[in-house]
Amino acid sequence: MICRIRPIAIGVTADEDCINVVLKDGGRLQVPLRRLSKLWVATPEQRRDCHISASGAALRWDQLAEVISVSELMRDAERRHRDERLTSQVPDDFPWDPTPALLSGTQPKLAGRWIDGRLIVGLTAEERWVRWDMCEDLAQQLIRKTLEDAAKYPQHSRDVTLNGMRRAIERKGWTERVETDWLMARLRTLLGW
């Protein structure tokens, strides 16, 4: 849930790995330094030289000429939390990038997208969750159809029956190749084959 009240910082500390912000409402934000490029390369003394604006809405590092909105830190923390939650729901073996974003030319290039101020190559956690959810749902729906086909053609081996299902899925174009590979492995597991 997104809070519509502007977060107000009342304290900030920096250590080797992160910036810790204490909020007026009692909340705390812990932001990894790797997400804050200027602070990531700064010295420990420069990181500690932080001032909170009079309103508490911004953090300022004068030596680094860096000002960071507390609201933006909050939005980033919410995005990271959402991404971690979605990622934890998707099996580790589900593909991250079903369609690699390589561009042709003399120099290899990756195609990326700016999403929420970040360059993303491949799927976001949310996009991957949606793709997995679709594949899992399809695998669940195919159990009955696969068993019906196996009963209708008892002379076919399980592999022949599953290959028929795979060809039908590929003709529909619902999934990318690596997703279809995962889907068929999942269907085999669900069937106990």
- DSSP designation for 35: G
d(C-alpha 144, C-alpha 30), whole Å: 48
Which stretch of DSSP H or E encloses residue 13?
Answer: strand 9-14
Q: Which of 33, 34, 35, 8 is nearest to 23 (CA)?
A: 8
**Residue 92 binned pLDDT confidence (cut-offs 50, 70, 90):** very high
Domains and CATH numbers, the chain: 9-89 (3.30.2020.40), 125-191 (no CATH)
Whether the full predicted model's pTM is greater than 0.75, yes or no, is: no
Residue 49 near residue 62 (C-beta atoms within 8 A)? yes
Q: What is the arithmetic mean of pLDDT over 136-163? A: 96
Least confident of 55-64, 106-115, 151-160: 106-115
What are the DSSP calls for 96-136, one per residue?
S-SS--EE-SSS-EE--EEETTEEE-S--HHHHHHHHHHHH
pLDDT tens-place string over residues 21-70? 999 999 999 999 888 889 999 999 999 999 999 999 999 999 999 999 99
- CA quadruple 162, 168, 169, 171: dihedral positive or negative? positive
**Residue 104 binned pLDDT confidence (cut-offs 50, 70, 90):** low
pLDDT tens-place string over residues 157-170? 999 999 999 999 99
CA end-to-end span of the chain: 42
Name residues whose C-beta falls within 8 Å of residue 2's C-beta, 6 or more positions apart in sequence. 75, 78
Q: Is 14 exposed, middle or buried (0-12, 13-18, 19+ CB in 10 A)?
A: buried
